[in-house]
Amino acid sequence: MRVLVTGGTGFLGSRVIPLLAQHDLLCISRHPERLPNIPRVNAVVSDLCSDDDWITKVAEFRPEWCFHLAWEGLPDYSFERCRLNLDSSLRLLDVLAQTGLKRIVMAGTCWEYGRASGLVTEDQHPIDVDLFAATKASLLGVLDSVARSAGFEYQWARIFFVYGPGQRLTSLLPSLRHAYVSGVDPDIRTPETLQDFIHVDDVAAGLVSLVSSEVQSGVFNIGSGYPTSVAQVANIAADYYNRAKPFTDISNGPGFWSSTEKIMSTTGWRPRIGIDEGIVSTLKVLDDR
């Protein structure tokens, strides 16, 4: 297949690309030297906000599949940043609608559920979404309309709390590591909060399963399917560094986690990396850098 990838140097994209090594890939990237080093990868040095030759290159390439994983500027969730990302995504859709595309996978976010509580399914009504989630939801609405008009399938992946090697240093696990190796207690203000933590390698496999399983258009949760408190993560990391567990009385608090029944039943995908294994392997990578 001819596969177009945006965000190929990012946290998710750098894990997705190696899983597509048997395909012909075209990546739009400002830093192609950072792309995974595998055969059959071509790059257009550009970004989606530019009016240069990426449009011509994509039209000539005529992708059959697309992974749109780019979202510039995170963790900047400002109106200006959201608007720029929405504009660039709409521009990409406009181009793809004219290329004969068969299928596209786009990265959504679990924050589209807003102030949800407990197990969430794909048809759950959102509550009080923030600007970032509202922007993603707006893009989903346009995607659905364009896909029906142009005749291609889409899979919108609502990705839950991804962790693993390559995540931002301000994220939970790198912050915990920094505290423990520095000999200080981690600064955790809401240890009881429940989240659905999922390893980046499992997310990458889930994204590829959506494009390769010929499933119908729609929204799909990608998460572990289980709640884990922030305190539990902190304690697992403390064990790894032989530090005293910072939390002895873990009471579950607010939070939400994914129902993964839809993606598992339609693609056969399921998460493979448990929370303990994933945390330890991530910390080992961070230690080796």
Condensed to tens digits (0 to 9), the pLDDT of residues 48-70 reads: 888 778 999 999 999 999 999 99
Q: How confident is the model at residue 19 (pLDDT cuts 50, 70, 90)?
A: very high
Q: For domain 2-161+198-222, which architecture applies?
A: 3-Layer(aba) Sandwich (3.40)
Average pLDDT over residues 137-143: 97
pLDDT at residue number 2: 96
Domain pair 2-161+198-222 / 166-197+225-288, same fold: no
pLDDT at residue number 284: 97
pLDDT at residue number 52: 73
Between strands 194-195 and 228-229, the pairing is: antiparallel
Average pLDDT over residues 187-195: 93
Please give the model's pTM, rounded to 2 decimal places.
0.95
pLDDT at 150 over 80: yes
pLDDT at 289 over 90: no
- Show me where the domains of the chain are located: 2-161+198-222, 166-197+225-288
pLDDT at residue number 18: 96
Distance CA 163, CA 108 (A): 16
Reported as a single tens digit per residue, the pLDDT across 166-182 is 999 999 999 999 999 99
pLDDT at 247 over 80: yes
Can the peptide bond before residue 186 be classed as cis, meaning omega within 30 degrees of 0?
no
pLDDT at residue number 49: 82
Reported as a single tens digit per residue, the pLDDT across 94-117 is 999 999 999 999 999 999 999 999
Cβ 140 vs Cβ 113: under 8 Å? no
pLDDT at residue number 99: 94
Closest to 83 in 3D by CA, of 134, 47, 128, 129: 134
Secondary structure (H, E, C), the chain: CEEEEECCCCCCHHHHHHHHCCCEEEEEECCHHHCCCCCCEEEEECCCCCCCCHHHHHHHHCCCEEEECCCCCCCCCCHHHHHHHHHHHHHHHHHHCCCCCCEEEEECCHHHHECCCEEECCCCCCECCCHHHHHHHHHHHHHHHHHHHHCCEEEEEEECEEECCCCCCCCHHHHHHHHHHHCCCCCCCCCCCEECEEEHHHHHHHHHHHHHCCCCCEEEEECCCCCEEHHHHHHHHHHHCCCCCCCCCCCCCCEEEECCHHHHHHHCCCCCCCHHHHHHHHHHHHHHC
Average pLDDT over residues 264-268: 97
pLDDT at residue number 47: 83
Q: Which has the minimum average pLDDT: 9-18, 34-43, 121-130, 160-169?
A: 34-43
CATH 2.60.110.10: does it fit domain 166-197+225-288?
no
pLDDT at residue number 108: 97
Average pLDDT of every residue of the chain: 94
